[in-house]
A and B are shown apart, each in its own frame.
Chain A
Amino acid sequence: MTIDIPFIWIAFKEIVKSLPITLILTVVPLLIGFLIGIAVALVRVYQVKFLYRAANGYVSFFRGTPIIMHVMLIYFGFPLLINQISERFDLGIQANSIPIILFVLTALSLAAGAYLSEIIRSGILSVSNGQLEAAYSVGMTSFQAMIRIILPQALAQSIPNFTNIFVGFLHTSSIAFLVSEKEVTGAANIVASTNLKFLEAFIAAGMIYWGLTIIVEGISFLLEKRVTAYNRGGVS
């Protein structure tokens, strides 16, 4: 077997067309997961009654099982659930009319929420207690202190971790290929099997992922430098 180097470029051009789907599958779950993460982190930090147990269970389950399983559970389980509910309340919704990508986005968002909540929680815990006391001493409510003093510092300190998660989810989005969502890995597979050039196609896909990762790391570096300037004696 020989390697067809020019075909890598041909495959690249074909595969890169699916990049938007990969980006959607990365960015949307992380944005939704971020909101879930903040809510769950706050519930766990404040130990809100009852909700606290649910939040613990949620984080434990989604971090304790592979993301591929969440995708499968939701992809196969939700249609059943939706059809049942639709039947009972006569909503007239057909599960198979729902685009697959919504199931994948749901699964990835829930997983992202669990991972991000732990990052945000550890960020909150890393802000020194003195900051909170100072906020109280000038007469802030605990809500004001959290929003204006603790969270901004917690999130700024978490940027390297957010980058990690972003890169992780960029690669995890390839799982969607298993439920026939045509993102970068899915496209690579199609190009590979129609041309019977597997190595070349996956090299091309790998280059796309790697390139994206390098870009993301660069952005994160600049962002981190800007946002945490206060910590390093940088000028505002």
Chain B
Amino acid sequence: MISLKGIKKTFNKQPVLKGINLKINRGEVVTILGPSGSGKTTLLRCLNFLETPDTGIVQVGNIQVHSEKVTKKEILSIRKQSAMVFQHYNLFAHKTVVENVMEGLITAKKMKKKEARNQSEKVLAKVGLSEKLDHYPSQLSGGQQQRVGIARALALNPEVILFDEPTSALDPELVGDVLSVIKAIAQEGITMVVVTHEMTFAREVSDRVLFMDEGVIVEEGTPLEIFNAPREERTRRFLQRISSETFFTQPKKQVN
């Protein structure tokens, strides 16, 4: 359903993606791991053309585009196939919670205001924010804001939801809340691509884990394969570093 062929991207002559090939099936939950600077966020952003790849073919849903000669119209239609949850939430600051969720329905889906509001309220109930409909983002905690972000993405009923480190900016005590919402969505069978540093989450939720480093996908497999028996040296080193950081608090979860 999603397919990437030969995606390359360079920032200031610095190659960030060095030819990514990837296929993701409908309903699959894929997490992307990797050290910072490995290109995982850029890869995610190439999926909805917040970054335009230098070369390569991107397909989302039934829209396929060549990134060298992509038009504005194609970018728009590919964006309408997906929705994104951002690291810093990026809620529309001048709109209330329910308006934030309605916005995409009204503009991109051409829905009537009333219908959009109904649907938005339903989705917000799902993420546990029925009480906060008329609050502004600035009045919410980080965890609540991110749940609005998730509701905004979910309401669009997209082919795929892209999560860009959805819990990295949150206080540790709020992370659990947001992760359990994402987990619940994952179980509904929505296709998701998640860039994350939450190893436990990746292990529990994903169908497939990609490990990226220096602009290439180094290794991919089921969570079991990646976490318990990584084949590549680089993956092993990365996981070792991550697990040694949590060694004192969670010795059980140490891998290798």
Taking beta carbons and an 8 Å cutoff, which residues of A are in contact with B? 128, 130-131, 133-142, 144, 148-149, 152-153, 156, 229-236
Contact = CB atoms under 8 A, between A and B. Distances in A.
A138 B107 contact: yes
Contacts of A142: 72
A154 B190 CA distance: 36
B138 interface: yes
A131 B94 CA distance: 10
A232 B135 CA distance: 12
Interface of B: 48, 50, 72, 76, 79-80, 82-84, 86, 88, 90-96, 103-104, 107-109, 134-139, 152-153, 156, 162
Contacts of A136: 48, 50, 79
Contact of A138 (B104, B137, B139): B104
User: Chain B: interface secondary structure?
Assistant: loop
Q: Which of B90, B94, B156 has the most CB of A within 10 A?
A: B94
A141 B93 contact: no
23 contacts: A133-B84, A133-B90, A135-B92, A135-B103, A136-B48, A136-B50, A137-B50, A137-B153, A138-B104, A138-B107, A139-B76, A139-B108, A139-B156, A140-B107, A142-B72, A148-B103, A149-B92, A149-B94, A156-B94, A231-B93, A231-B138, A234-B136, A236-B136
B138 A233 contact: yes
Contacts of A133: 50, 84, 86, 90
B50 A139 contact: no
Nearest to A228: B94
B190 to A, nearest CB: 16
Given A134-B91, A135-B103, A142-B72, 4 more contacts: A134-B152, A138-B83, A153-B93, A231-B136
A229 B136 CA distance: 9
A43 B91 CA distance: 27
B79 A139 contact: yes
Contact of A230 (B50, B83, B93): B93
Contacts of A156: 94
B93 A140 contact: no
A174 B163 CA distance: 58
Contacts of B82: 137
A141 B108 CA distance: 8
A131 B93 CA distance: 8
